[in-house]
Amino acid sequence: MSRRVVITGMGAVTPLGHSVEEVWERLLKCESGIGKTTLFDASTFPTQFAAEVHDFDFTACLSPEAVVDQKDAARNSQFMIGAAMQAWKQAALPEKLIDCVSGGKCCNALCDGDAFVPKSDRVGVYLGAGEGPPDFDNSIAPTVAAWIKDENDVDWGIWSKVAFERMDATVELEQEPNIPSARVARLFGLRGPIMSCLTACAASTQAIGEATDLIRANDADIVIAGGTHSMIHPLGTTGFNRLTALSIRNDDYKTSSRPFDQTRDGFVLAEGAGALILEELECAKRRGAKILAEVIGYGSTGDAFRVTDQHEDGRGGARLDIDKIDYISAHGTGTHENDSIETHVIKSVFGDRAYKIPISSVKSMLGHLIAAAGSIEMITCVLAIRDNIVPPTTNLHTPDPQCDLDYVPNEPRKVNVNIAMSNSFGFGGQNNTIIIRQFNG
């Protein structure tokens, strides 16, 4: 019999708030997390706005010892630490896992000897995480300036000297995508599978799905899964601007994210992190954990098409199938290609029933959190099941004739949600879908 996987904790740090409940409340109020870019001077960029996380102090949730240990964490790791700590506490897990040497019923030296806590080597981390934000001002810019004597002449002797002097090894290490996973594992003393993936916008959905598979395969009992990303910097914005993927609606940025609307002109770059505690059902029951939802399906395919585009026919996404779905959390970026192709995929999978399923994109309010997007959207699916209400797609006033499904425009809707599906599609033709349902024992 296959091991069942449930969700016992959730955490979020986003442009709409620093907790799951705050984010949910503001989504249902149709608030926007989009504003003028403040993390760098974007005044000369085609896109001068983003969805930033403001006023977040990740040290507020840490012990003094952990603050010292994590003090050099980069922005993306800070978001992940905050989200993971929320999820860990909601799941009622011990502060830190330390294996007993004496044996007995308890597997953790910090509990009272009667509670059941999995061994640390049975608890893992799997995150979709992008590279950390480069240190332009203190590292890259001064080094580049010293490299170049004139337009056509690079003095490599000066380059190597200044690079060695200027580039802090810790700062450079923090840019590696695996560091958020490593930091979370260190924070809680986890010695199980510690993994990360960077499959662009599909990354955290892939991490959650593959973490589920780890538990089902009996390679772990608990996994902290989710994603984190922070790309609101000159390099990230330039790259997406050159791809013409970002909205350039600088005169109306609050409503610039317009998934499925005929006037959409691109997505809005965002940042943040989402974390979920995935747990084998019997383990959760032995701990007396509150079960929030059950993961019942995960699918992953590839398009084998272009580096940046989905296949026009949605041939990868269309292989993901399910008989009964009450709500779909769409990838819904607000680019012309994504929204029309995703609509086509949903129709090809569900046929005529596609027109009866409520679908929405919270990116209309949150922006696009890139590698963290799927984790936050999965959290909204859990909350939709809990509250029997689905968040809207805001800024949807001029429906695109090619996007003619029920996108829950502009206000939340009461819906009896028993089973929900979340889609994530990434550059390179990455297609990932997770299905969850209300836990019924």
Out of 88-97, 147-156, 202-211, the most confident range is 202-211
Of all residues in the chain, the percent with pLDDT exceeding 90 is 70
Q: Which of 61, 107, 197, 201 is catalytic?
A: 201
Residue 376 is predicted with a pLDDT of 98
- Over residues 321-347, the pLDDT tens digits come to 466 899 999 999 999 989 999 999 899
Q: What is the mean pLDDT of residues 423-436?
A: 84
Beta bridge partners of 275: 11, 226
- Over residues 360-411, the pLDDT tens digits come to 999 999 999 999 999 999 999 999 999 999 999 999 999 999 999 999 999 9
- Angle formed at CA 280 by CA 278 and CA 283, multiple of 5 degrees: 115
Coil, strand, or helix at residue 235? helix
Cα–Cα distance measured from residue 192 to residue 224, given in angstroms and rounded to the nearest whole number = 11
**Pair 425, 398: CB distance under 8 Å:** no
| Catalytic residue flag (residue 201) | yes
Q: Which of 233, 311, 331, 344 is catalytic?
A: 331
Cα–Cα distance measured from residue 110 to residue 90, given in angstroms and rounded to the nearest whole number = 18
Residue 155 is predicted with a pLDDT of 55
Residue 218 is predicted with a pLDDT of 95
0.75 exceeded by pTM: yes
- Read off the pLDDT band of 317 (50, 70, 90): very low
Residue 333's Cβ-side half-sphere holds a number of Cα atoms within 13 Å equal to: 29
Cα–Cα nearest to 368, from 276, 244, 258: 258
The domains located in the chain, with CATH, are 5-132+177-293 (3.40.47.10), 136-170 (no CATH), 299-437 (3.40.47.10)
Supply the DSSP symbol for 409.
B
Please report which helix (H) or strand (E) contains residue 9, including its range.
strand 5-13
140 or 53, which is more confident? 53
Q: Which of 61, 311, 368, 403 is catalytic?
A: 368
| Catalytic residue flag (residue 368) | yes
Residue 311 is predicted with a pLDDT of 39
- Over residues 26-40, the pLDDT tens digits come to 999 999 999 999 999
**Pair 426, 202: CB distance under 8 Å:** yes
- Read off the pLDDT band of 100 (50, 70, 90): very low
Residue 134 is predicted with a pLDDT of 67
